[in-house]
Structure 1
Amino acid sequence: MRIPILKLHDLLLVSIQVVLDDKSALELQEDLLQKIHATNAEGVVLDLTSLDMIDSFIAKVLGDMVSMAELMGAKVVLTGIQPAVAITLIELGISLPHIMTALDLEKGIELLKDNGVVHP
């Protein structure tokens, strides 16, 4: 099952509502990069609110996805990181430097707006 990627103005909105396994994480990465290319999106909000757990491979894929999207010119905000996910990332020693985060989808869009990405 593919994760939907919605377009809103100059943004792409991705809300992960399923448990990510290795295959679905890699599919999401490929789909997101294709959608950025096809729409010339300037920003991406990646909502992780529904993710209760994360492993080192999924964390690496998410970090890579952010880096790849930014190489393509899209600013990325991760939103809704659950406490258990944050703890796991730190315990695994996974650092996601330079990644913008926000508590929820609304604050993520505001953050991109404040950074000049959103043009309604």
Structure 2
Amino acid sequence: MRIPILKLNEYLLITIQVELDDQTALQFQEDLLNKIHQTDAKGVVIDLTSVEMIDSFIAKVLGEVVNMSNLMGAKVVLTGIQPAVAITLIDLGIHLKGVPTALDLEQGLAKLEQDLEE
């Protein structure tokens, strides 16, 4: 299963609406990095509103996706983080320092535009 990655101007928008298993997460990581490279995207918004639970491997992959995207020049904003997901990330020691977050996709896009203007 592949997670759709939409392009909007110079941004990539991703809404994860499936339960993430290890293979899907790794495929998403590869697809996103390839899409950043192909489109020269300046920013990425990853909406996690539908993700209710993650395990340690998925949390690790998510952290890596953020770091790899930043290395490729695309700033990442995470949106819609559910309480259980936030708790899991902290419990696993994945702190995502410096990663902007927002409540929803609309606020995430605004945050991304604001951060890229600075």
What TM bracket, shorter-length normalisation?
over 0.9
TM-score, length basis structure 1: 0.94
**Cα drift, residue 113 of structure 1:** 1.1
Determine the C-alpha separation between the residues in 1 that align with 2:40 and 2:60: 24
Q: Is 1:9 aligned to residue 9 of structure 2? A: yes
Aligned alpha-carbon RMSD (Å) = 0.9
Partner of 1:14: helix, strand, or coil? strand
AA at the equivalent of 1:70: N
Query: What is the aligned partner in structure 2 of residue 112 from structure 1?
Result: 112
Determine the C-alpha separation between the residues in 1 that align with 2:66 and 2:111: 16
Query: Number of paired residues?
Result: 117
**Cα drift, residue 50 of structure 1:** 0.4
TM-score, length basis structure 2: 0.95
Determine the C-alpha separation between the residues in 2 that align with 1:7 and 1:20: 22
- Deviation per CA, 1:2-38, whole angstroms, max 9, x where unpaired? 1000000100001000000000000000000000000
**Cα drift, residue 99 of structure 1:** 1.1
Partner of 1:99: helix, strand, or coil? coil
Determine the C-alpha separation between the residues in 1 that align with 2:22 and 2:4: 17
**Cα drift, residue 44 of structure 1:** 0.2
Partner of 2:88: helix, strand, or coil? helix
In structure 2, list runs of 5 or more residues that go unmatched: none
Matches within 5 A, 1:1-120: 1-116=1-116
AA at the equivalent of 1:59: A
AA at the equivalent of 2:19: V
Partner of 1:2: helix, strand, or coil? coil
**Is the contact between residue 63 and residue 94 of structure 2 (CA under 8 Å) also seen in structure 1?**
no
Partner of 2:3: helix, strand, or coil? coil
What percentage of residue pairs aligned between the two structures are identical? 68
In structure 1, list runs of 5 or more residues that go unmatched: none
Determine the C-alpha separation between the residues in 1 that align with 2:18 and 2:50: 7
AA at the equivalent of 2:94: I
- Deviation per CA, 1:37-87, whole angstroms, max 9, x where unpaired? 000000000000000001111011001001000100000000000011111
Determine the C-alpha separation between the residues in 2 that align with 1:116 and 1:78: 15
